[in-house]
Amino acid sequence: MFARVTVYELPGDRMDEAVESFRSAFDRIKTLDGFSDGYFLVCADEDRATAFTLWETHAAMAGSRVTASRVRTEAARAVDGCVVSAHEYEVAIEAAADPAGASRYA
């Protein structure tokens, strides 16, 4: 599994608008081949947000670069924000709770 992590500078007083803007961006991204999961994290107090997307393969993540770049830039600009950084990673550890509440490590 592979991940793209993008950090944004967004006006804290427009974070609700930003969430809606990025919801539309995620609607477009999740239709791309190999998309697995995605999260949008916000911190209005620090005028920051982070998008985290997971991809089945490196090729799928690489194939999404142009579209992802375009939609994230559009979503940030819609609320007078900007992209601070975007980095790609291979997921080395995955941890999730199992249904019984105990931790599971893979």
For residue 104, the model assigns a pLDDT of 56
In this prediction, residue 97 has a pLDDT band, given cuts at 50, 70 and 90, of confident
CA atoms within 13 A of residue 75's CA, in its CB half-sphere: 29
Domain ranges of the chain: 2-94
Q: How far apart are CA 72 and CA 51, in angstroms?
A: 9
Q: Which of these, 100, 83, 104, lies nearest to 4 by C-alpha position?
A: 83
Q: Which residue has the higher pLDDT, 38 or 99?
A: 38
CATH architecture entry for 2-94: 2-Layer Sandwich (3.30)
**pLDDT category of residue 99 using cuts at 50, 70 and 90:** confident
pTM of the model as a whole: 0.87
- Best CA proximity match to 1, nearest among 38, 27, 47, 29: 38
